[in-house]
């Protein structure tokens, strides 16, 4: 029917598009004859992530300010151990550096665990599964020209919960799952995308994140306290606090004064934000909520309706235990598994339109996606309703978007925060040759019962940026 | 009745279609699959058998995600050892996943492959679906 110019494709048999076959034995498209070394799945992973140590460690592609976080922690702790500890050991006790070291170790370990662990990414649906879901959606639609709704309502513990369809991952998102635009992945129990740790915080690494911020609060408070103690003790032996700052020990004639100031400044500003954040997350853990749900107000009682959180165990201790000490779920994306060569030839079974997905890294997928593109283009006029509106990405992390996000949380404007999101732009090419639908974000409501602490924490709640309400294409 | 297939024979057969058993979220976010019998399997397998397979899978996943003394102990121990303990031992969840993989293989060999069906381990589909591949039955012609 059609011949591709770029790859050595076989002529596409229309029947082959409808009936799937499991294997084309030896002839791989694009001239690859099976001499390619077997590739691991992380090499063809479609999300925006970076992988290290052959897939054992992963990070978001935009690692945000993780280097800054690490430098701040190391610099402050380094200055503390170098300049304050000797003095305090002489004047107080040996346990000061011991406690400091333990806290420092906890902070670093939890930070590394948070950053390099898979947050609970859901692998994207394979074409057959996506086709099956599309078929079910089409069957449940009432008329042919009105697009079927891409939401599903289910009952969880007698509470109605809406499941949304993810156009990127081609599946209905499980409850509490959200799509992160920064990483372009659906993440289970999505909390937020944290630029400070350079990764999403989700089901698998929330406990590490919580451990990180709690131990960091202790560490900064401890260092702050020790530095103050140091200054006080020095000023008692000297003649005033200013001279205590200016005074320098014989061993480090130049640095000590400056180090004290640096430590004070860093700790002072960190304490407010980190302590506040720890308090906020302690509240979330105790009520088994995520930052995402809290910000969207998913379970608040609106307009007098009774809608409680269906996931809570109604007991603070049980909630804490479940969130922090529950069983550790496995990583679902199987980073180190090998890509099976059959998948490249796996064609789509249904006649329903499947928006093609462009796996950028794997040339094997090129055959499949091109076939799908042809099929979908052939059907595009008839089935406009099911075309993907494209992937809208938020703008890179800028101060402006940070502040507008944070200010949304604090001031709760009544209209949608269009200014903050206005710089959103599509980064990846749209899969389907059709116009994008507008992205309507639910307006944040005006409830404010929970403590709002994270004034400086740039928590990116990007989940709902991807919730695209379906608007008929005119 | 169709001739029985072994697991090896199935690898040569052509796939007629696939059925996806979705997750059941009525009791929360725990891993549980719907036990509703798909219409496409009516001619192939006994409803009770299918339900028993799915129910056993659900029970195994419930065991993996069970909140009890053991999982709390594991969590606390992991925290205290700075998670280095996972370098030497695997988590309870992973142990149960291995059990599940063995169960599915056993079910495939004994029950499903002779009927021209193949269960795919849900972990390979991100614990979203149980994928059941229906193979063409050559003895009775294509579906």
Per-residue pLDDT, A255: 60
Residue B25 touches chain A, beta carbons under 8 Å: yes
* Contact pairs from chain A to chain B, CB under 8 Å: 102
Percent of chain A with pLDDT strictly greater than 90: 20
Interface test with B, best of A330, A349, A351, A354 (most B CBs within 10 A): A330
Q: In the predicted model, is pLDDT for residue A126 greater than 70? A: yes
Give chain B positions within 8 Å (CB) of A329.
65, 93
Per-residue pLDDT, A461: 42
Give chain B positions within 8 Å (CB) of A126.
125
Q: Band of the pLDDT at A451, cuts 50, 70, 90?
A: very low
Q: Band of the pLDDT at B17, cuts 50, 70, 90?
A: confident
Is the CB of A328 less than 8 angstroms away from the CB of B78? yes
Q: Band of the pLDDT at A366, cuts 50, 70, 90?
A: very low
Compute the distance between CA of residue A195 and CA of residue A182 in angstroms, rounded to an integer: 10
**Phi and psi, residue A436, nearest 5°:** -80, 145
More confident residue, B120 or A302: B120
Report the relative pairing of strands A49-52 and A192-194 from DSSP bridges. unpaired
Per-residue pLDDT, A406: 39
Per-residue pLDDT, B100: 93
Mean pLDDT in residue range A454-469 = 42
Distance from CA of B126 to the nearest CA of A (A): 5
Per-residue pLDDT, A260: 82
Per-residue pLDDT, A53: 83
Choice among A70-84, A346-360, B62-76 with the minimum mean pLDDT: A346-360
Residue ranges of domains in chain A = 64-121+203-325, 127-173
Per-residue pLDDT, A324: 85
Q: Band of the pLDDT at A335, cuts 50, 70, 90?
A: confident
User: Sign of dihedral through CA atoms A162, A168, A174, A176?
Assistant: negative
Closest to A128 (Cβ–Cβ): which among B18, B93, B94?
A: B18
Distance from CA of A107 to the nearest CA of B (A): 10
Per-residue pLDDT, A209: 94
Per-residue pLDDT, A197: 92
Is the CB of A123 less than 8 angstroms away from the CB of B126? yes
* Per-chain mean pLDDT for chain B: 83
Choice among A30-34, A139-143, A210-214, B118-122 with the minimum mean pLDDT: A30-34
Strand, coil or helix: A60 = strand
Q: Band of the pLDDT at A219, cuts 50, 70, 90?
A: very high
Is the CB of B15 less than 8 angstroms away from the CB of A21? yes
Per-residue pLDDT, A316: 87
Q: Band of the pLDDT at A379, cuts 50, 70, 90?
A: low
Highest mean pLDDT among A43-47, A413-417, B84-88, B107-111: B107-111
Q: Band of the pLDDT at A425, cuts 50, 70, 90?
A: very low
Mean pLDDT in residue range A338-360 = 49
Per-residue pLDDT, B9: 67
Percent of chain A with pLDDT strictly greater than 70: 56
More confident residue, A430 or B46: B46
A29 in Cβ contact with A9 (< 8 Å): yes
Mean pLDDT in residue range A244-255 = 53
Q: What's the Cα-to-Cα distance from A34 to each of A11, A38, A207, A360, B12, rounded to whole Å?
A: 20, 9, 43, 20, 19
A366 catalytic, yes or no? no
Give chain A positions within 8 Å (CB) of B79.
207, 211, 325
* Per-chain mean pLDDT for chain A: 69
Per-residue pLDDT, B38: 86
Output b/e per residue, A199-238; b: 16+ Cβ within 10 A: bbbbbbbbbbbbbbbbbbbbbbbbbbebbebbbebbbeee
Q: In the predicted model, is pLDDT for residue A388 greater than 50? A: no
* B 83-142 → A contacts, CB under 8 A: 83, 86, 91-94, 97, 123-129, 131
Mean pLDDT in residue range A150-161 = 81
Per-residue pLDDT, A385: 40
Beta strand spans in B48-137 (E): 117-120, 129-135
A35 in Cβ contact with A173 (< 8 Å): no
Q: In the predicted model, is pLDDT for residue A70 greater than 90? A: yes
| Other C-beta atoms lying within 10 Å of the C-beta of residue A77 | 20
Residue A204 makes CB contacts below 8 A (sequence gap 6+) with A117, A118, A119, A120, A188, A328, A329, A331
Closest to A132 (Cβ–Cβ): which among B20, B28, B92?
A: B20
Per-residue pLDDT, A302: 54
Per-residue pLDDT, B102: 94
pLDDT digits (tens, 9 = 90+) for A286-321: 988 889 888 888 776 554 445 677 888 888 888 888
Interface test with A, best of B21, B29, B68, B72 (most A CBs within 10 A): B29
Closest to A157 (Cβ–Cβ): which among B19, B27, B83?
A: B27
Q: In the predicted model, is pLDDT for residue B112 greater than 60? A: yes
Mean pLDDT in residue range A365-371 = 49
Closest to A321 (Cβ–Cβ): which among B26, B72, B83?
A: B72
Per-residue pLDDT, A244: 57
């Amino acid at each position: 029917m059609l011949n591709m110019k770029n790859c050595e494709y076989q002529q596409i048999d229309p029947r082959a598009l409808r009936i799937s076959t499991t294997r084309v034995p030896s002839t791989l498209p694009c001239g690859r004859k099976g001499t390619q070394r077997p590739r691991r799945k992380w090499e063809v992973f479609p999300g925006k992530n970076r992988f290290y140590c052959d897939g054992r460690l992963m990070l978001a592609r935009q690692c945000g300010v993780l280097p800054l976080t690490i430098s701040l922690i190391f610099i402050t702790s380094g200055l503390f151990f170098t300049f304050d500890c000797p003095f305090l050991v002489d004047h107080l006790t040996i346990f000061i550096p011991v406690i400091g070291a333990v806290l420092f170790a906890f902070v670093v370990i939890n930070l590394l665990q948070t950053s390099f662990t898979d947050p609970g990414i859901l692998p994207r649906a394979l074409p057959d599964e996506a086709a099956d879901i599309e078929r079910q959606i089409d069957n449940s639609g009432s008329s042919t020209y009105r697009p079927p709704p891409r939401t599903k309502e289910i009952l969880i513990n007698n509470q109605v919960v809406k499941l949304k369809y993810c156009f990127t991952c081609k599946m209905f998102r499980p409850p509490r799952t959200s799509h992160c635009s920064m990483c372009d992945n659906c993440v289970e129990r999505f909390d937020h995308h944290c630029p400070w740790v350079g990764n999403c915080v989700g089901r698998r690494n929330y406990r590490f994140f919580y451990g990180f911020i709690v131990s960091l609060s202790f560490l900064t408070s401890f260092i702050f306290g020790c530095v103050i103690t140091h200054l006080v003790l020095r000023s008692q032996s000297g003649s005033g606090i200013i001279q205590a700052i200016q005074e320098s020990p014989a061993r480090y004639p130049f640095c000590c004064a400056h180090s004290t100031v640096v430590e004070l400044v860093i700790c002072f500003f960190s304490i407010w934000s980190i302590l506040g954040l720890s308090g906020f997350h302690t509240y979330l853990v105790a009520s088994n909520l995520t930052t995402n749900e809290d910000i969207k107000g998913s379970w608040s009682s609106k307009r007098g309706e009774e809608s409680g959180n269906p996931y809570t165990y109604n007991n603070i201790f049980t909630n804490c235990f479940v969130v922090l000490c529950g069983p550790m779920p496995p990583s679902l994306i199987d980073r180190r598994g090998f890509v099976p060569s059959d998948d490249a030839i796996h064609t789509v079974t249904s006649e329903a339109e499947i928006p093609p997905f462009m796996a950028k890294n794997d040339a094997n997928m090129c055959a499949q996606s091109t076939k799908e593109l042809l099929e979908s283009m052939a059907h595009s006029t008839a089935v406009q309703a099911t075309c993907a509106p494209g992937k809208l990405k938020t703008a890179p992390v800028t101060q402006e978007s940070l502040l507008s996000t944070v200010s949304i949380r604090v001031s709760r404007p009544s209209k949608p925060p269009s200014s903050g999101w206005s710089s959103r732009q599509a980064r990846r090419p749209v899969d389907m040759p059709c116009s994008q639908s507008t992205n309507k974000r639910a307006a944040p409501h005006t409830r404010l019962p929970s403590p709002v602490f994270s004034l400086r924490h740039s928590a990116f709640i990007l989940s709902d940026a991807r919730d695209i309400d379906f608007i008929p294409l005119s | 009745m169709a001739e029985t297939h072994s697991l090896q024979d199935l690898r040569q057969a052509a796939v007629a279609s696939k059925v996806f058993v979705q997750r059941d979220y009525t009791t929360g976010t725990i891993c549980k699959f719907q036990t509703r019998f798909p219409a496409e399997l009516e001619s192939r397998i006994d409803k009770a058998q299918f339900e028993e397979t799915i129910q056993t899978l659900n029970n195994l996943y419930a065991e993996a995600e069970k909140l009890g003394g053991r999982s709390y102990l594991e969590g606390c121990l992991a925290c205290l050892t700075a998670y280095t303990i996972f370098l030497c031992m695997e988590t309870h969840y992973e142990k149960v996943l291995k059990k599940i993989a063995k169960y599915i293989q056993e079910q495939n060999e004994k029950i499903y492959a002779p009927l021209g069906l193949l269960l795919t381990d849900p972990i390979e589909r991100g614990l979203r679906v149980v994928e059941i591949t229906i193979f063409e039955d050559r003895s009775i012609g294509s579906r």
